[in-house]
Amino acid sequence: MILMSSISEFMNGGGIMSVYWGFAIGGSAIFAITAIAALFGMGADSAGDVDVDMDGEIDIVHPDSGIFDFKLISFRSILAFIAMFGWGGVAFGEYGWKGFFVALGCGLVTMVITAYLIMSILKLQQNGTRANASLVGQKGTVYLAIPAGGRGKVVLDLGDSTREITAYSDVALEKGVPVVTTALKAEVFTVKPL
């Protein structure tokens, strides 16, 4: 009983208000710092980015699982919970336990909303790469001369982008010759002059 009376005294006294203010100010400050860092490309999401230049194709399976993509627990959603729990406590902390549960509700609602917004924004991402098989039949230009029966490089014009590929030809093709891809075998495209 002494523990319950101590907790009730803490909840009704000024001690809990210090906790609420700490959560409110600390959570808001960290949120502001991460928001500014994200504006300048220094967010946690970009910390592990690696640029790779490669020829080939990688298939990554990502089934569209709808609501199962929803991840409630993330750095930003926890940060939103802490900040709104604190501000909810600052606003309603004078009501003791009722104020605590209102603050808890504010934090949880904000956490769910933040997680939903992040999930929605991530669904807007687009890969932008094309599968190698879809490049058969595309027109391009020889970039590195292709000897007869040998390999060289071709740049394909895909309308909204260009792509450099390794190409094989039965006939010799000099740099600048327009070609079309006719087949794909073992990541090497067969081309013929236009």
Cα distances from 132 to residues 40, 155, 168, in angstroms, run: 34, 13, 15
141 in Cβ contact with 123 (< 8 Å): no
Give the type of residue at 167.
Answer: A
Percent of the chain with pLDDT over 90: 42
pTM above 0.75, yes or no: no
Q: Note the maximum CA span of the chain.
A: 93
Which sign, positive or negative, has the C-alpha torsion 20, 102, 71, 120? negative
Which CATH number applies to 132-193?
2.40.50.140
Which sign, positive or negative, has the C-alpha torsion 32, 38, 42, 46? positive
Name 38's Cβ contacts closer than 8 Å, sequence gap at least 6.
Answer: 45
Average pLDDT, the chain: 81
pLDDT beyond 80 at 16: yes
| Domain spans of the chain, in order of start | 2-122, 132-193
Flag the least confident range among 8-22, 29-43, 102-116, 138-152: 8-22
